[in-house]
């Protein structure tokens, strides 16, 4: 997961949040689209929310398989 400041273009001055979780069964990275927000604080909150959502999904899949 990363947060980068956007320097040029349409969203200049904003922050891009990118997460790349790994698939449990294959070990490969899952590509998800990045999201753009206005402030660093919003970016941190979005990163935390995305991380929590992924953990919930992973736990759901593990429980469902078992």
Please write the tens of the pLDDT for every residue from 28-54.
888 888 999 999 999 999 988 887 777
pLDDT of residue 15: 97
Average pLDDT taken over every residue of the chain: 84
How does strand 2-5 pair with strand 35-37?
A: unpaired
* Alpha-carbon span 2 to 5, nearest angstrom: 10
Give how far the C-alpha of residue 18 lies from the chain's centroid of Cα atoms, to the nearest Å: 5
pTM as predicted: 0.74
Burial status of residue 17 (CB atoms within 10 A of its CB: 0-12, 13-18, 19 or more)? buried
């Amino acid at each position: 997961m990363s947060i980068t400041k956007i320097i040029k273009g349409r969203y200049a001055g904003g922050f891009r949040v990118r997460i790349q979780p790994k698939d449990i069964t294959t070990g490969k990275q899952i590509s998800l689209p990045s999201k753009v927000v206005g402030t660093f604080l919003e970016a941190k909150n979005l990163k935390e929310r995305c991380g929590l959502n992924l953990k919930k999904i992973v736990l759901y899949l593990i429980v469902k398989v078992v």
